[in-house]
């Protein structure tokens, strides 16, 4: 009686595993009967150690690869955020993956500031600007409780928190004393230090890292960061060692594990192919992957080049520039939407590498489990 469903499942994957269980995201070993968040299993001694470490890192900030070393009780580093956090939005969010947002939404906290300077940032108004309101870690913890008790969300989703890890640690520890019982999601660009991921161990249930680019030349130009790829590799491997592959409860909601995102960018599909191949070969072929296609020019992309913005611009020979040259914009190579073919090439590379657990749109138009 399984002949029909099995044929359907096989058609959805280029390289189908031999066992029926590997076709199903909710099948063993990825199915949990119940789940207790990791921070609620932490001993009081370990919790006290983490609280002490968090304060120490705030006094000598070294938890992200920028290694600013500043005392954040006195001044700020690259991220422009001090000892408190600046938050732009706190609300149930329905723009995440189906297994993250579920029916009630993901309890998302969008932090202002970032330790990257991506020229194409899709959340430029939040990550590149200090818009929002200030909260102490204790006040942030109280918002987690509001999201749980009033919003009835499925999880607490910490978006772009790489630069506020000490404050996040303190907030989670305080929230557990207030009665928090939701999984914690660490939603990151992967520009994290191993020390940072170590501090989060035992507190985070789901890691949601974005592996952005592959080439160092690309990260220097588009992310304004050196060694991004090597850093992302170390971080994602450390995340997976902590929580493993993505697991669900029977309601289809993810509870623990790693879900890697890759935003396919115009003309960078070769880098995406390298990223998914690396994930399959070095992390896990069972890792959950979201190959994203919603790139569109944002932030600095498409803005007029500074040197050609003047109306009296001339070329080196002294002649007025043509109208075409005057209208040239910054980062022209990525000043367009990504094509279906570019996205398809990355997806095909992922399947050839042996990856099979993908975030896909529900064919029935509802909640995809």
Binding residues for [4Fe-4S] cluster: 114, 118, 121
Query: 193-213 b/e with 16+ CB inside 10 Å = b?
Result: beebbebbbbbbbbbbbbbbb
Among candidate residues 158, 137, 160, 136, the one with its CA nearest the CA of residue 147: 158
CB 365 within 8 A of CB 299: no
Q: How far is it, in rounded angstroms, from Cα 122 to Cα 125?
A: 8
For the annotated binding site, the residues are 114, 118, 121
Q: How far is it, in rounded angstroms, from Cα 324 to Cα 322?
A: 5
Dump strand ranges (E) for 117-226.
133-135, 156-159, 184-188, 206-209
Among candidate residues 144, 134, 152, 171, the one with its CA nearest the CA of residue 54: 171
165-178 vs 44-59: helix crossing angle, rounded to 10: 150
Q: How far is it, in rounded angstroms, from Cα 164 to Cα 187?
A: 12
Half-sphere exposure of 116 (CA within 13 A, CB side): 32
Q: Classify the C-alpha dihedral 129-132-258-57 as positive or negative.
A: positive
């Amino acid at each position: 009686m399984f002949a029909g469903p099995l044929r359907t499942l096989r058609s959805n994957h280029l390289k189908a595993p031999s066992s029926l269980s590997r076709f199903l995201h909710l099948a063993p070993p990825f199915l949990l009967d119940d789940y207790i968040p990791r921070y609620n299993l932490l001993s009081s001694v370990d919790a006290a150690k983490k609280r002490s470490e968090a304060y120490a890192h705030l006094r000598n900030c070294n938890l992200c690869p920028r290694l600013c070393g500043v005392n954040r009780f006195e001044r700020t580093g690259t991220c422009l955020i001090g000892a408190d956090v600046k938050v732009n939005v706190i609300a149930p969010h329905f723009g995440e993956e189906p297994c993250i947002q579920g029916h009630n939404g993901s309890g998302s906290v969008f932090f202002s500031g970032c330790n990257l300077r991506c020229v194409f940032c899709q959340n430029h108004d939040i990550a590149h600007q200090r818009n929002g309101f200030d909260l102490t870690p204790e006040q942030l913890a109280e918002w987690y409780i509001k999201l749980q008790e009033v919003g009835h969300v499925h999880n607490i989703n910490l978006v772009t928190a790489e630069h506020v890890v000490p404050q996040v640690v303190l907030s989670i520890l305080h929230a557990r004393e207030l009665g928090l019982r939701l999984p914690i999601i660490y939603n990151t660009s992967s520009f994290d230090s191993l020390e940072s991921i170590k501090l989060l161990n035992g507190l985070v249930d789901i890691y949601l890292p974005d592996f952005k680019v592959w080439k160092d030349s690309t990260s220097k130009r588009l992310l304004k960061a050196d060694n991004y790829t090597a850093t992302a590799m170390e971080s994602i491997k450390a995340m997976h060692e902590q929580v493993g592959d993505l697991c669900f409860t029977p309601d289809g909601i993810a509870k623990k594990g790693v879900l890697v995102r890759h935003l396919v960018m115009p003309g960078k599909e070769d880098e995406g192919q390298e990223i998914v191949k690396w994930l399959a070969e070095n992390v896990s072929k069972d890792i959950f992957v979201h190959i994203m296609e919603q790139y569109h020019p944002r932030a600095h992309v498409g803005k007029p080049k500074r040197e050609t913005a003047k109306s009296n611009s001339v070329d080196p020979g002294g002649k007025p520039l043509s109208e075409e040259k005057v209208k040239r914009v910054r980062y022209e190579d990525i000043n367009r939407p990504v094509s279906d073919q570019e996205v398809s090439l990355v997806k095909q590379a992922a399947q050839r590498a042996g990856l099979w657990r993908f975030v896909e749109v529900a064919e029935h138009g509802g909640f995809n489990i």
